């Protein structure tokens, strides 16, 4: 994305920044995440939702998104996905798992992401 956009979701105007992240985190809902993913051609399945919720929870607890290795370990422990790896996460969100999960989770772009 190169410029800010507006989406009409759930009867509300949702403003997105040039990077596709919500400008107002208070606008987030699962419906907003679904609509954003749909406009990107992604169907959010259970593992997508697990990562989105994990990122939201981690951000709430620590004020920042998790490192990739933290998310992989948690996926193994919490989902029973014993072969979880960075490949597993990239299959969910090929453009950057943590960054994209943050975007769909209504969180700002992680500082560590390019």
Q: Residue 90, exposed/middle/buried by CB under 10 A (0-12, 13-18, 19+)?
A: middle
Q: Any idea what DSSP says for residue 6?
A: E
d(CA 1, CA 51): 23
Q: Which of 33, 34, 113, 114 is catalytic?
A: 113
Q: Residue 3, exposed/middle/buried by CB under 10 A (0-12, 13-18, 19+)?
A: exposed
Find the helix or strand (DSSP H, E) in which 69 lies.
helix 68-79
Told to judge if 113 belongs to the known catalytic residues of this protein, a careful annotator would answer yes
Catalytic residue list? 113
């Amino acid at each position: 994305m190169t410029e800010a956009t507006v989406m009409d979701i759930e009867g509300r105007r949702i403003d997105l920044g040039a990077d596709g992240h919500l400008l107002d985190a208070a606008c987030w809902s699962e419906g907003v995440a679904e609509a954003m993913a749909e406009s990107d051609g992604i169907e959010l399945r259970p593992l997508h939702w697990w990562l989105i919720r994990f990122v939201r929870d981690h951000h709430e607890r620590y004020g920042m998104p998790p490192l990739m290795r933290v998310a992989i370990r948690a996926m193994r422990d919490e989902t029973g996905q014993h072969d979880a790896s960075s490949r597993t996460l990239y299959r969910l969100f090929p453009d950057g798992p943590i960054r994209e999960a943050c975007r769909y989770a209504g969180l700002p772009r992680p500082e560590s992401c390019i």
